[in-house]
Amino acid sequence: MEATTDAKIYDAVVIGGGAAGIGVAIALRHAGIENFVVLERYTVGASFALWPAETRFITPSFPTNSIGMLDLNSIAIGVSPAFSLGVEHPTGAQFAAHLKGIASFFEIPLQEKTVVLRVTKVGDDFRIDAAEETLRAKHVIWAAGEFQYPQRTGFVGSELCTHTATIPSYQELEGDEFIIIGGYESGVDAAYHLACRDKKVRLFDKACPWNGESSDPSVALSTYSQERIREGCFAEHVELFPETSIASVAVVNDTYEVTTEQGEIFRTPVPPLLASGFTGSHQLVTDLFEKRGDGFPLLSEHDESTIVPGLFLCGPAVRHENHVFCFIYKYRQRFAVVAKAIATSLDLPAEELEKYRQWGMYLDDLSCCGEECSAC
């Protein structure tokens, strides 16, 4: 589908209508950018709405207060899911509703149910091919998230497992004995909800995240998960297997056999649950970014592609040196960085973005974004 020469050219197109996409869109508004649109494959907050019904945010929400601290799960200054929802740990469905309300309040230009097929740089502009149309833009912000792209590989027979991201509710799972592969947040969450239903659970992890020494929840279990591990139902019904890598899963006589790399075999009558995380949507645009050694996109100091000028990344895949921005309260700090870069390119003053700096959401110096940073 070819774009016509007289087609409208947006100043920016944001791809993804989740926390990152809506958050950076609000920053664009504050930067004085009006000629933009947010493209969402389903509806705003769809990835959060797909969470298992029992799953909640591990980062607590609290109303914005007078000393300059934002709710950890806020995506914009002056809004708080704790205030609007009245809960400390929102469910995915609740947060999706919160995002929809924010998008409406800020009058974010949305185009839902738009499947983006490819992004191509053509001359000085971008061509965004969607299933039903082609758009053109001077800048593109990739903010498509990660939850819709579960990691299903890693060992022989992993396809026989049920990924936790595909479970509508743990209440609906049949069976009395479960094996969970992966002991980080999703694995502990699944184990906890099954244990609360008096199910026997064996939880395997190649490391030992529940005994992590780091205070950074990007690499160690959150306090919320640690607390649940200490609850009576968890201790009674969950058996932990740290430093136990899985070699394979197979079906033998209608029973699932899980074999560790040490050669031990564990059996379960129902498919093992796979809590192996996500590949992330950035894998869909790998040709537009250079790669870091860890496979994540290499970014400029403005979160821009180093090989395709005008293409920016927002969301949990953002990495700078050893700094990991995989939580909302981390990657929202980069929204104003991207918005200011685009505003500067468009010769706009972006004066309103100064308030992001005042609220600790606009960081000029990446060296202050490590795990020891109080703002992070």
- Among 274, 300, 325, residue at a domain's last position: 274
Residues 61 and 186 in one domain: no
- Among 221, 254, 274, residue at a domain's last position: 274
Residues 111 and 193 in one domain: no
373 located within any domain: no
Dist. CA 8–CA 348, nearest whole Å:
20
pLDDT at 353: 84
Dist. CA 183–CA 274, nearest whole Å:
10
153 located within any domain: no
Dist. CA 192–CA 170, nearest whole Å:
10
**List of residues 6+ apart from 363 with CB closer than 8 A:** 333, 334, 337, 369, 375
Residue 220 banded pLDDT, cuts 50, 70, 90? confident
- Among 250, 274, 298, residue at a domain's last position: 274
Residue 4 banded pLDDT, cuts 50, 70, 90? very low
Residues 18 and 143 in one domain: yes
Residues 98 and 13 in one domain: yes
Among candidates 290, 291, 297, which has minimal Cα distance to 314? 297
The owner of tokens 């912000």 is: 141
pLDDT in tens, 308-354: 999 999 999 999 998 889 899 999 999 999 999 999 999 999 888 87
Residues 286 and 142 in one domain: yes
Number of separate domains in the chain? 2
**Could you tell me the residue range of the domain that residue 227 belongs to?**
158-274
Residues 140 and 17 in one domain: yes
The two structure tokens encoding residue 157: 């027979």
CB-based contact 272:258 (threshold 8 Å):
yes
Residues 119 and 185 in one domain: no
* CATH for 185: 3.50.50.60
pLDDT at 134: 95
pLDDT at 289: 96
2 located within any domain: no
Beta pairing, strands 273-274 & 177-181: parallel
376 located within any domain: no
- Looking at residues 8-31, what average pLDDT do you find? 96
CB-based contact 91:51 (threshold 8 Å):
yes
Residues 123 and 44 in one domain: yes
Residues 331 and 343 in one domain: yes
pLDDT in tens, 175-211: 999 999 999 999 999 999 999 999 999 999 999 988 8
3 located within any domain: no
Residues 187 and 60 in one domain: no
Dist. CA 330–CA 327, nearest whole Å:
5
pLDDT in tens, 34-56: 999 999 999 999 999 999 999 99
**List of residues 6+ apart from 78 with CB closer than 8 A:** 64
Length of the chain: 376
Dist. CA 171–CA 289, nearest whole Å:
41
Dist. CA 150–CA 235, nearest whole Å:
28
374 located within any domain: no
Residues 253 and 187 in one domain: yes
Mean pLDDT (the chain) is 90
Q: How far apart are the first and last CA of the chain?
A: 44
Residues 234 and 262 in one domain: yes
